[in-house]
Structure 1
Amino acid sequence: MTNKTALVVSAHSADFVWRCGGAIALHAAKGYDVSVVCLSYGERGESAKLWKQEGMTLEGVKAARRKEAEAAAKALDVREILFFDLGDYPLRADRSARNDLVDVIRRVQPEFMLSHSLEDPYNTDHPYATRVALECRMVAQAWGHNPGEKILGAPQLYLFEPHQTEQCSWKPDTILDITEVWAKKRAAIECMEGQQHLWAYYQNVAENRANHFRRNSGGQAGGREAKYAEGFQSIFPRTVDEL
């Protein structure tokens, strides 16, 4: 019997850590094989600390970002992390890159997918990555694309939390308790040495979402205790037998 699977499509090589590291570690602990695709390293726009080092080069930044992401993936028990190296600011995926992502989606056959909010005026690479993921999800479902391959079913695409939600039209409808794997997420966060200014910010986000988890699971009338949580917005209707 093969494990269940999940797939994260991350615009830059650190995004998956801040925004859904807890979901990754939690599902890995439940036996899921989690794959992460980093469309770019975030080498141009999200590596200011690295660029401030004397003599830094583009390839040097990429190498540093890759090393950080691989260490974080290991801390989260990611099964595989793939780097497409498509460049950032702006991120662009041509037909060949999109077909590569379709191939990954079909091979992984994820139970669910994770990517960015559909809007983000501060960083247009983020919604671009999600639109690429949605398009590739669609193509992976098409019987006429590389006939004979196993097609994709209908995995939910969850949008993880953007940096400033009120500017990104993001509204969570799913809150996940990540308390039991918080230590793994924090360890992964600390692998991102080039963006230390975000470490405390994303711990605060997790603590705030835990407050929302407690409130929405019953609050003081018997809600489940949670110290850290992550929020997600689902794209597609969910088919369920009970609520």
Structure 2
Amino acid sequence: MKKPSALIISAHAADFVWRAGGAIALHADMGYEVTVVCLSYGERGESAKLWKQDDMTLEQVKQVRRKEAQAAAEALDVHDIQFFDLGDYPLDLNNEARNRLVDVIRSVQPDFMMSHSLWDPYNTDHMNTTRFVLEARMIAQAWGHNPGEKVLGAPQLYLFEPHQTEQMGWKPDTFLDITQVWHKKQAAIECMQGQEHLWHFYTNVAENRGNHFRRNSGGQAGGRNTEYAEGFQSVFPRTVDKL
């Protein structure tokens, strides 16, 4: 029997860590096979610490970022991590890359997917990634695309938290308690040596979302004792049998 699975599409090599590391580790603990696709290494726009070193080259930056991402994926118990190496600032989201992602989606057959917010004026790589993901998801559902392959069903696409939520039009409707796997996310965060300045920021985000989880799970008096959480916005309606 096929194991449950999830697919996380990350514009740059560190995004999946900051924004969905807890969800990845938690679902891996529950038996999910979690696949991460990094569209780029973030080698040009998100590796300033490395570029400040003397005689640094683009390939050296890529190698360092790949090792960091692989170490973080191991810390989170990722089943498979793939690097598309599409460049960054901007990403080169061409037809070949789109078909490649469609192949991954059909292969994984995810129970849910995750990617970036729909709008990000500070980093268009992020919002362009989500448009790219939505198109690939649509193509993966099409019976006429590579007939004979197993088509995709209709997995939810969750949008993980952007850096400045107020500017992104991102409104979370789902909070996930990641307290039991926080140590794994923290270990993954600390793998990203090239962006050490973000370690505290995303720890603080998880603590704030833990507060929001507590308030929304029964209020201050009756809420679950959640220390760390992640927030997500669902793209599609969720179907339920009871509220």
TM-score, with length taken from structure 2? 0.99
1:72 paired residue number: 72
State the Cα distance separating 1:215 from its structure 2 match. Answer: 0.2
Q: Does 1:35 align with 2:23?
A: no
Deviations 1:60-100 (A, max 9, x none): 00000000000000000000000000000011211111000
1:55 paired residue number: 55
- Alpha-carbon distance in 1 for matches of 2:3, 2:145: 26
Letter in 2 for 1:30: M
- Alpha-carbon distance in 2 for matches of 1:169, 1:241: 29
2:99 paired residue number: 99
State the Cα distance separating 1:219 from its structure 2 match. Answer: 1.3
- Alpha-carbon distance in 1 for matches of 2:178, 2:57: 37
Aligned length: 243
1:154 paired residue number: 154
Alignment of 1:132-147 (within 5 A): 132-147=132-147
- Alpha-carbon distance in 2 for matches of 1:195, 1:166: 23
- Alpha-carbon distance in 1 for matches of 2:40, 2:220: 44
Identity of aligned residues (%): 77
- Alpha-carbon distance in 2 for matches of 1:126, 1:203: 21
Segments of 5+ residues of structure 2 without an aligned counterpart are none
Deviations 1:18-44 (A, max 9, x none): 000000000000000000000000000
Segments of 5+ residues of structure 1 without an aligned counterpart are none
State the Cα distance separating 1:221 from its structure 2 match. Answer: 3.4
SS in 1 for 2:17: helix
State the Cα distance separating 1:220 from its structure 2 match. Answer: 2.6
Letter in 2 for 1:185: K
2:44 paired residue number: 44
SS in 2 for 1:90: coil
State the Cα distance separating 1:185 from its structure 2 match. Answer: 0.1
State the Cα distance separating 1:114 from its structure 2 match. Answer: 0.3
Letter in 2 for 1:120: D
Point out 4+ residue stretches in structure 1 off by more than 6 angstroms: none
State the Cα distance separating 1:234 from its structure 2 match. Answer: 0.2
- Alpha-carbon distance in 2 for matches of 1:230, 1:12: 19
1:116 paired residue number: 116
State the Cα distance separating 1:2 from its structure 2 match. Answer: 2.1
- Alpha-carbon distance in 1 for matches of 2:234, 2:16: 17
Q: Does 1:237 align with 2:237?
A: yes
Deviations 1:165-203 (A, max 9, x none): 000000000000000000000000000000000000000
Letter in 2 for 1:51: W
Letter in 1 for 2:115: S
- Alpha-carbon distance in 1 for matches of 2:111, 2:240: 14
Aligned Cα root-mean-square deviation (Å): 0.5
- Alpha-carbon distance in 1 for matches of 2:93, 2:238: 29
State the Cα distance separating 1:218 from its structure 2 match. Answer: 0.6
1:200 paired residue number: 200
Alignment of 1:204-243 (within 5 A): 204-243=204-243
1:88 paired residue number: 88
- Alpha-carbon distance in 2 for matches of 1:95, 1:198: 33
- Alpha-carbon distance in 1 for matches of 2:131, 2:84: 16
Letter in 1 for 2:128: Y
SS in 2 for 1:81: strand
Letter in 2 for 1:63: Q
TM-score, with length taken from structure 1? 0.99
Deviations 1:121-180 (A, max 9, x none): 110000011110000000000000000000000000000000000000000000000000
